[in-house]
Structure 1
Amino acid sequence: MLKKIAISLGDINGVGIQLALENHKTISKLCDPIYCVNKKILKKATKKLQIKIPSNFTLSGQFLQTKINPGKVKKDSGQFSYDSFLQAIQLAKVNQVDAICTLPINKEAWSKANIHYVGHTDMLRDIFKKNAIMMLGCEKMFVALYTEHIALKKVASELKLSKLSKFLIDFVNDISIEKNTTIGVLGLNPHAGDNGVLGKEEDIIKKAIKKATKVTNQKFDLLVPDIAFTPNVRKKYKYFCAMYHDQGLAPLKALHFEESINVSLNLPIIRTSVDHGTAFDIAYKKQNKLSNKSYINAIKEAIKLAK
């Protein structure tokens, strides 16, 4: 029997709905998708896209009427994407689906709709009262983020021994890691601090690694950030832990932008996502062929994790 996957459609002014419609035939062979949108909003979108609604396109949820303004940051589209995600979460909480896959939201649109979360992971963390971990990547390489959507100037003050060691322990406990695999942990400072010359934060990271190793028996290596993603170093590691958002995601997206996905770890439900934005610049422009690699990979990972 195919796994049931709830798909939240993201910002209705972006490319989410087009991705869902164009790839339904492929997706429905892999799983039983349930799309969190109602028929009235779906009809508006398909009319603009000039795409027919597939006969087996299963819908779930009732939503406030939403105007579609292709490529625009709007309060209505922010509210819809929030409601669509919340509907997917509710389905997962009562075990009506095996996992969730999310299409891209716009954080500014959420702000316009007075939604206080900064994104999907933040919302999941609050709803389940668990320290959800954001991991992004593909089969070749995954990067987990210690801090996510915070200002760079706040990162150093967030580096605390108890918090970082718990992050590393939770991360190891929620991934299926091959035996004898070493996880690369990036230092915060240039040259990983050069033994304290360029900063003392690496002392905290080393202590956190030592504590996590003792608890999990997992091997970690502290890596110099500017060489961590060079070809020779990448041969040694599949999993990396970055101290802040761009430290991990800039190299990941340079290497694997189209195929990488987002996975939320350390939660009672399974959630995967595409690792790209709303692409407002090409939304509802049917002549633009959308890359589906990230979406297909996110669905496949959700199915894999649900087994």
Structure 2
Amino acid sequence: MNSRPTVAVTMGDGAGVGPEICVAACLDPTVLAVARPVVIGDAARLERAAEALSTEVAIRTIDSPSEAGDCPGVIHVIDLDLLPADLPWGELSTVAGDAAFRYIERASELAMSSDVQAICTAPLNKEALHSAGHQYPGHTEMLASLTGTKEVSMMLSSPKLRVIHVTTHIGLIDAVARIEPGLVERTVRRGNEALVRAGIEHPHIGVCAINPHAGENGLFGYGEEEEKIIPAISALQNDGIDAAGPLPADTAFFLAGRGDYDLIVAMYHDQGHGPIKVLGIEAGVNITVGLPVIRTSVDHGTAFDIAGTGKVDTASMSEAMRQAAALAAV
């Protein structure tokens, strides 16, 4: 049996930088040392991406991940052949939005049947996705639906900080309404399990408050911390999980940045995304926690403004593939 896990690499929106970062990461020696990548996408688009990068590579079409071999300078692709040859770079496309969904759909099938051991996704464009009739807020919710998973969490990982979110792609008012002790507790448990899987035996987890200064004893907010967060932390601590809080978010991220916490639990999207992106979006990786399959992704978008120019930084995609392989190998 091959000691390196096979990672299904979805090409993302073909009008964006997805094809370019897939080509670069699939040729990265540090990736190939730990993973066997198989792209789910369009072979012709990958060839155009290689041209944009001024990279010499052979794009080899296969029908099954089992056909992928170790061939220097070769990228193996399950070619769904969904994109027109004249698809322009950097422009919103319903066809590309639908294709991005189809790549994820095929990768999910391969993962659920154990033909691949992990999925690593290039970015898609939500507007293009929706215009094609696929009404998902993003990859996280799409993969949950495709794998029949009721609830998952988004975790962002960078060299200096890891963040897991209690809520993600909903408005702030809706997020506060959705937060309740059970959801907070389940989110922390998923994060704790993911870190243990990654080799951190006893993760130290900081849980953010909702209000400034953690409510300051009722001065800010309407008692959300006492009602929605503290009961969850008590239950987690009773089970031996090292969860502290609720912490003022500005303090929590400062402490995590200097190494006091292995994981910060953010209550809503921007509370967690902001610090990660300030610390370096190019090194950030998005991990979907709670799925029956391993899934990682870059923490950046389709970058239509530079798509097809060869200027994209590919470091995040390489790191996402390395982390997918590391998690799959446990």
TM-score by length of 2: 0.86
Alignment-derived partner of residue 321 in structure 2: 299
Pairwise mapping of residues 91-240 of structure 1 onto structure 2 (< 5 A)? 91-130=110-149, 131-176=151-196, 178-199=200-221, 200-203=223-226, 204-230=228-254, 234-240=258-264
SS of the residue corresponding to residue 257 of structure 1 reads: helix
CA distance in 2, matches of 1:213, 1:63: 51
- Please tell me the root mean square deviation across aligned C-alpha atoms, in Å: 2.1
AA at the equivalent of 2:181: L
Match 1:248 to one of 266, 272, 289: 272
Residue 36 in 1 paired to residue 40 in 2?
A: yes
C-alpha spacing 1:118/1:263, structure 2 compared with 1 (3 Å): same
Deviation at 1:211, TM superposition (A): 1.4
SS of the residue corresponding to residue 219 of structure 1 reads: strand
Structure 2's unaligned 5+ residue stretches are: 60-73
Does the 8 A contact of 2:195 with 2:203 survive in 1? no
Structure 1's unaligned 5+ residue stretches are: none
Does the 8 A contact of 2:256 with 2:264 survive in 1? no
Does the 8 A contact of 1:38 with 1:61 survive in 2? yes
Does the 8 A contact of 2:105 with 2:146 survive in 1? no
CA distance in 1, matches of 2:178, 2:122: 29
CA distance in 2, matches of 1:294, 1:152: 28
C-alpha spacing 1:87/1:165, structure 2 compared with 1 (3 Å): same
C-alpha spacing 1:217/1:51, structure 2 compared with 1 (3 Å): closer
Deviation sequence 1:101-156 (CA, Å, 0-9, x none): 10111111111111011111101222223211110022421000110000112111
AA at the equivalent of 2:279: L
Does the 8 A contact of 2:20 with 2:53 survive in 1? yes
CA distance in 2, matches of 1:4, 1:219: 34
Q: Percent identity?
A: 32
C-alpha spacing 1:278/1:233, structure 2 compared with 1 (3 Å): closer
Deviation at 1:50, TM superposition (A): 6.0
Greater mean alpha carbon deviation, residues 48-57 or residues 20-29: 48-57
SS of the residue corresponding to residue 221 of structure 1 reads: strand
SS of the residue corresponding to residue 100 of structure 1 reads: strand
Alignment-derived partner of residue 14 in structure 2: 12
Deviation at 1:172, TM superposition (A): 1.9
AA at the equivalent of 1:19: I
Alignment-derived partner of residue 87 in structure 1: 106
CA distance in 1, matches of 2:203, 2:109: 36
Deviation at 1:235, TM superposition (A): 2.8
CA distance in 1, matches of 2:284, 2:259: 18
Deviation at 1:285, TM superposition (A): 1.2
Residues matched between the structures, number = 305
C-alpha spacing 1:47/1:180, structure 2 compared with 1 (3 Å): closer
AA at the equivalent of 2:270: D
SS of the residue corresponding to residue 30 of structure 1 reads: coil
C-alpha spacing 1:98/1:182, structure 2 compared with 1 (3 Å): same
Does the 8 A contact of 2:43 with 2:81 survive in 1? no
CA distance in 2, matches of 1:159, 1:95: 34
CA distance in 1, matches of 2:203, 2:103: 38
AA at the equivalent of 1:83: R
Greater mean alpha carbon deviation, residues 296-305 or residues 15-24: 15-24
TM-score by length of 1: 0.92
Does the 8 A contact of 1:5 with 1:31 survive in 2? yes
